[in-house]
Chain A
Amino acid sequence: MIKKVDLRGLACPEPVLKAKRLLDDQTVERLDALVDDLVCVNNLKRLARSLKATATCQEQNGSFLVVIDRSLSAATGGDVTGDTATSIDNESHTSAFPADKAATGSGTVVFLSKDTFGQGDPQFSRTLLDLFLQSMLEAGHAPTAILIANTGVKLLAPESPSRHVLKEFQERGCPVLACGLCVEFYGLKEHIHDSQIINMFAIVEYLQEASKVLTP
């Protein structure tokens, strides 16, 4: 997932700390950050190096666009923080940058904050949710992400019938992301891959930026 953020106007060390919080979400592969000055640029390059990601920078109307990319890190290696400004794919950045917004890809986000579809008989409600997810998959809908919190994380338990459905969403390019606190609370940590764990900060960003949130 690519995230964009405008860090201009923030006093040091806020820009680098905010970038770090966004990159704590392992599903963010690339962060495009707009900053005021070279001090921020250099600090973000250090952050990238500490995360073993690449960082490139280019000037943009008096500001600087820093692209931190961790998908390239393993392949390139070596000097990832060279001071030479590298040209990057500019297509998506020439348009006006959303002011102080992290554009987490709009689209539909499915938010499963419990392991049931509505409220009623627990077993029946649970079956309905399995059916909902199965139907969504079969209909070919591809949400931006499926976020799972609270008892919803039980859907990812080994014995859960929905587990393979969610896995299929994932394989189709729709990230299935579970709240770390919840996974820990319900003792499911060992069954869920680290790359699927996100924090509340990321959940807020996803919900905030979605054009539509489905909460069955």
Chain B
Amino acid sequence: MSDSSHSGYVKLTDSTKAGGCAAKISSAELEEILRALPTLHSPRLLYGMDNFEDAAVYRITDDVAIIQTIDFFPPVVDDPYLFGRIAAVNALSDVYAMGGKPIIALNVLCFPTCDYPTEVVREILRGGADAVVEAGASMAGGHSIQASVPIYGLSVTGIVHPDRVLTNSGACEGDAIVISKPIGTGIALLGLKGQQLTASSQKQLLDNLTTLNNRSLEAALNYTVHAATDVTGFGLIGHLHEMAHASRLTATLWADCVPLLGQTAELAELGLVPAGAYANRHAYAEHIHYIDKNAEDDPLCDLLFDPQTAGGLLFALEPAAAQALVRQLKDIGLNAALIGQFKSGKAGLVEIALQCREVA
């Protein structure tokens, strides 16, 4: 990123304490609030707020359902174009996580126009628009207001066949777990802010943050995918727990198999761990079982709880299919991996084993 792009005004990331999905409200807090809200359950609403799905799905006809989602957050990087692009990639991801194709996007923008030149807004929106075009969707408008902290994201509408919606809840006993992107964006973004990233780690991080999940979904749809979600603010563990819980299964995660962004292991070890990672560790503590002694203190575990921005997709599918999918994802240049397996057991439990294993 060039420093010249933000000369003369406050750095975008200085205006905020928690960027990206680290800015999410904790799941426990949310659950309590949402439970008390009145809902009108239309039979056409296939997926709403139950099971913490990534987006709502509403059946229009027997062949078409719409997927509706919204996602926005404060700046994660100082470059306005990249911030816009990352926020849009992150918002579009929810549609892919439900197995759909985005068709329309609307901008959501809160911005302190007095503090920044118009150029910054233009660049944020251009970044968002580029991601929407790459996704093959139409940018169709949006809404903007004055605010003290910049916030950007999208509301996205997608379509999917009602019978082919991918959810959290379909994982089967024995299914292998595949992740389509490396993790560690929360820790790496702290490293970026603290100027601790080498040029190659920085490139790896920004490439990762701006990679749409469209190609990983396309690849996965060649196989019978039982469950899918995307890895975002609740960290790999949090989203895996949600999938295990919704599928009434126990997940075993092989920590050493999980692909990591460059330098994130050493940065975690040095204590560059975002607040959201500690919050996630606390929130999911009762659903975690560490198989190895002292695994809890392993720096790798900080990465498993690290809140992800524009994270990859998580798939559950039969082991042979999973292995083939990983090969295919690697062939198209994605750092995907087979990272664990579902088994019968306590619903929602995530067992963490440090060592990699073979699927049984």
* A and B: interacting chains: yes
Measured CB to CB, the nearest residue on chain B to A11 is B17
User: Which B residues are CB-close (under 8 A) to A42?
Assistant: 271, 273, 278
Check if A12 is an interface residue, CB within 8 A of chain B.
yes
Beta-carbon contact of A81 and B271 below 8 Å: no
In the assembled complex, the CB of A17 is this many whole angstroms from the nearest CB of chain B, namely 5
CB under 8 Å from chain B, chain A span 48-97: 49-50, 79, 81
Beta-carbon contact of A12 and B268 below 8 Å: no
The residue from A17, A43, A44 contacting B196, defined by CB atoms under 8 A apart = A17
Give Cα A16 to B274, complex, Å.
11
Measured CB to CB, the nearest residue on chain A to B299 is A46
Beta-carbon contact of B194 and A17 below 8 Å: yes
Beta-carbon contact of B275 and A39 below 8 Å: yes
User: Which B residues are CB-close (under 8 A) to A38?
Assistant: 278
Check if B44 is an interface residue, CB within 8 A of chain A.
no
In the assembled complex, the CB of A204 is this many whole angstroms from the nearest CB of chain B, namely 19
Beta-carbon contact of A46 and B271 below 8 Å: yes
Measured CB to CB, the nearest residue on chain B to A79 is B297
Beta-carbon contact of B271 and A44 below 8 Å: yes
Beta-carbon contact of A46 and B278 below 8 Å: no
Check if A168 is an interface residue, CB within 8 A of chain B.
no
Give Cα A11 to B191, complex, Å.
13
In the assembled complex, the CB of B136 is this many whole angstroms from the nearest CB of chain A, namely 37
Beta-carbon contact of A12 and B270 below 8 Å: no
Given A11-B17, A38-B278, does the pair A43, B271 have CB atoms closer than 8 Å?
A: yes
Beta-carbon contact of B269 and A12 below 8 Å: no
Give Cα A167 to B275, complex, Å.
47
The residue from B14, B196, B274 contacting A12, defined by CB atoms under 8 A apart = B274
User: Which A residues are CB-close (under 8 A) to B203?
Assistant: none
Beta-carbon contact of B270 and A81 below 8 Å: no
Measured CB to CB, the nearest residue on chain A to B18 is A12
Give Cα A186 to B14, complex, Å.
42
Beta-carbon contact of B191 and A13 below 8 Å: yes
User: Which A residues are CB-close (under 8 A) to B269?
Assistant: 46, 49-50
Question: Can you list, as one digit per residue, whether each of A1-40 has a CB less than 8 Å from chain B (1) or not (0)?
Answer: 0000000000111101100100000000000000000110
Check if A154 is an interface residue, CB within 8 A of chain B.
no
Give Cα A47 to B142, complex, Å.
44
User: Which A residues are CB-close (under 8 A) to B17?
Assistant: 11-12
Give Cα A46 to B278, complex, Å.
12
Interface residues on chain B, size class = 10 to 19
User: Which A residues are CB-close (under 8 A) to B14?
Assistant: 11
Check if A45 is an interface residue, CB within 8 A of chain B.
yes
Give Cα A38 to B271, complex, Å.
12
Given A13-B191, A13-B193, does the pair A43, B297 have CB atoms closer than 8 Å?
A: no
Give Cα A13 to B17, complex, Å.
11
In the assembled complex, the CB of A78 is this many whole angstroms from the nearest CB of chain B, namely 10
Beta-carbon contact of B278 and A47 below 8 Å: no
Question: Can you list, as one digit per residue, whether each of B155-198 has a CB less than 8 Å from chain A (1) or not (0)?
Answer: 00000000000000000000000000000000000110110100
Beta-carbon contact of A12 and B275 below 8 Å: yes
Measured CB to CB, the nearest residue on chain B to A81 is B297
Given A13-B193, A13-B194, A38-B278, does the pair A50, B297 have CB atoms closer than 8 Å?
A: no
Measured CB to CB, the nearest residue on chain B to A48 is B271
Given A13-B190, A13-B194, A17-B194, does the pair A50, B278 have CB atoms closer than 8 Å?
A: no
Check if B272 is an interface residue, CB within 8 A of chain A.
yes
Beta-carbon contact of A46 and B273 below 8 Å: yes
Give Cα A38 to B274, complex, Å.
11
Question: Can you list, as one digit per residue, whether each of A100-131 has a CB less than 8 Å from chain B (1) or not (0)?
Answer: 00000000000000000000000000000000
In the assembled complex, the CB of B296 is this many whole angstroms from the nearest CB of chain A, namely 11
Given A38-B278, A46-B299, A81-B297, does the pair A14, B194 have CB atoms closer than 8 Å?
A: yes
Give Cα A14 to B193, complex, Å.
9
Question: Can you list, as one digit per residue, whether each of B262-295 has a CB less than 8 Å from chain A (1) or not (0)?
Answer: 0000001111111100100000000000000000
Give Cα A44 to B14, complex, Å.
22
Question: Can you list, as one digit per residue, whether each of B249-269 has a CB less than 8 Å from chain A (1) or not (0)?
Answer: 000000000000000000011
In the assembled complex, the CB of A70 is this many whole angstroms from the nearest CB of chain B, namely 15
Measured CB to CB, the nearest residue on chain B to A14 is B194
Beta-carbon contact of A39 and B278 below 8 Å: yes
In the assembled complex, the CB of B187 is this many whole angstroms from the nearest CB of chain A, namely 9
Measured CB to CB, the nearest residue on chain B to A42 is B278
Q: A16-B270, A20-B271 are in contact. List 18 more A-B contacts (CB 8 A).
A: A11-B14, A12-B190, A12-B274, A13-B190, A13-B194, A13-B196, A13-B272, A14-B194, A17-B196, A17-B272, A20-B270, A42-B278, A43-B273, A45-B271, A46-B273, A46-B299, A47-B270, A49-B269
* Contact sample, A vs B, 9 pairs, CB 8 Å cutoff: A12-B17, A12-B275, A13-B191, A42-B273, A43-B271, A45-B271, A46-B270, A50-B270, A50-B271
Residues of B at the A interface (CB closer than 8 Å) are 14, 17, 190-191, 193-194, 196, 268-275, 278, 297, 299, 302
The 8 lowest CB-CB distance pairs between A and B, nearest first, are A46-B271, A43-B271, A47-B271, A13-B194, A16-B271, A39-B275, A13-B190, A13-B272
